């Protein structure tokens, strides 16, 4: 953990973390085990212990100072690009994480484990919007503006009953192209690696769903999803949530509507589909 990474925590939380880690080492727990338990590197634990031995309690208190150039973001441009590629290359369980679909928390765990950077779920939300990968503000707007109109409606083609005691999810299939505001890219000026998203990462497609509680679940890949892959996304949602689903579709390619119509027939009594368009 560096001074830059520590800004993901409040001063009080960071001091508490340091005190607990050092106390565990002093009690006889190995530095490697302490690092695993507290989600930091073994090197970081060693630095905290050494500082405590030299400075006493003063070592636990974060030092106040201004940011240096290049420290405005928790993740460097290279780390951001690595994170996007990891998301596009597979689901969290394929990366050894205990999640079936990407969420803000799953990305927190990936970045902490593989990059050694401690970030928070709200910070992940900011990055997802910055990258243009997840259109979360657009989905939230649809949820607020369309829910009263969409729930009573039923599409004749493949329509089914609205399921009682089921989770409601707003779902979309999107294709990131560029950030909503190119000035908010991860690096300034000519090095803005998010300008021209598809040129940099390929033809990325994203399936995503947002729950009533604001939790975003998503999966990304290069190239369009086929029927089997979209069905697998739905099944992963059902397994992760452990519930039947009322799905409200906000955005979907017209050429793939037949996939949505097939879901209620494939999972009778478990999946219902509504539309906010058409």
Residues 38 and 27 in one domain: yes
Residues 83 and 39 in one domain: no
The CATH code of the domain that includes 260 is 3.30.420
State how far the Cα of 228 lies from the Cα of 109, in Å rounded to an integer.
28
In the predicted model, what is the mean pLDDT of the chain?
78
pLDDT of residue 62: 64
Residues 154 and 34 in one domain: no
149-166: per-residue pLDDT in tens? 444 344 444 445 788 888
Which region among 98-107, 184-193, 196-205, 221-230 has the lowest average model confidence (pLDDT)? 184-193
Residues 8 and 110 in one domain: no
Give yes or no for residue 40 having a pLDDT over 50: yes
Q: Residue 69 falls within a domain, yes or no? A: no
Question: What does pTM read for this prediction?
Answer: 0.64
Residues 180 and 252 in one domain: yes
Residues 165 and 271 in one domain: yes
Higher pLDDT, 185 or 29: 29
| Residue whose pair of structure tokens reads 């990462």 in the numeric block | 201
Residues 182 and 217 in one domain: yes
Residue 236 banded pLDDT, cuts 50, 70, 90: very high
Q: How many domains does the chain have?
A: 3
Tell me the percentage of the chain whose pLDDT exceeds 70.
73
State how far the Cα of 66 lies from the Cα of 20, in Å rounded to an integer.
27
Residues 123 and 142 in one domain: no
Residues 124 and 22 in one domain: no
Residue 212 banded pLDDT, cuts 50, 70, 90: confident
State how far the Cα of 75 lies from the Cα of 96, in Å rounded to an integer.
21
Q: Residue 65 falls within a domain, yes or no? A: no
2-14: per-residue pLDDT in tens? 434 444 566 777 7
Range of the domain at 199: 132-275
Q: Residue 9 falls within a domain, yes or no? A: yes
Q: Residue 71 falls within a domain, yes or no? A: no
Higher pLDDT, 220 or 34: 220
Q: According to the per-residue pLDDT averaged within each range, which of 3-17, 20-34, 133-147, 152-166 is highest? A: 20-34
Q: Residue 72 falls within a domain, yes or no? A: no
Residues 164 and 257 in one domain: yes
Residues 222 and 244 in one domain: yes
Residues 165 and 228 in one domain: yes
**Which of 264, 231, 5 is CA-nearest to residue 158?**
264
DSSP of 19-50: HHHHHHHHTT--HHHHHHHHTS-HHHHHHHHH
Q: Residue 67 falls within a domain, yes or no? A: no
Q: Residue 66 falls within a domain, yes or no? A: no
Residue range 122-131: average pLDDT?
A: 85
């Amino acid at each position: 953990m560096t001074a830059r990474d520590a800004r993901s925590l409040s001063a009080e939380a960071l001091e508490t973390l340091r005190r607990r880690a050092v106390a565990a080492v002093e009690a006889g727990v190995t530095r490697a085990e302490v690092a695993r338990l507290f989600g930091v590197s073994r090197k970081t634990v060693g630095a905290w212990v050494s500082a405590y031995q030299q400075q006493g309690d003063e070592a636990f208190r974060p030092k106040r100072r201004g940011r240096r150039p290049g420290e405005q973001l928790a993740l460097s441009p290279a780390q951001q690009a690595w994170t996007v590629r990891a998301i596009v290359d597979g689901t969290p369980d394929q990366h050894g994480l205990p999640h079936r679909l990407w969420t803000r928390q799953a990305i927190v765990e990936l970045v902490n484990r593989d990059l050694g950077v401690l970030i928070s779920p709200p910070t992940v939300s900011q990055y997802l919007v910055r990258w243009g990968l997840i259109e979360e503000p657009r989905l939230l707007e649809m949820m607020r503006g369309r829910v009263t109109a969409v729930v009573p409606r039923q599409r004749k083609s493949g329509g089914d009953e609205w399921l009682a005691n089921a989770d409601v999810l707003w779902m979309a299939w999107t294709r990131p192209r560029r950030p909503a505001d190119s000035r908010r890219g991860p690096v300034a000026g000519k090095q803005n690696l998010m300008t021209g998203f598809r040129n940099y990462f390929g033809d990325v497609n994203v399936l995503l769903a947002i729950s009533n509680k604001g939790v975003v679940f998503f999966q990304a890949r290069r190239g369009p999803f086929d029927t089997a892959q979209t069905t697998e996304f739905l099944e992963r949602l059902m397994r992760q949530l452990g519930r039947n689903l009322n799905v409200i579709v906000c955005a979907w390619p017209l050429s793939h509507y037949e996939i949505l119509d097939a879901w209620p027939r494939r999972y009778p009594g478990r999946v219902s589909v509504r539309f906010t368009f058409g």
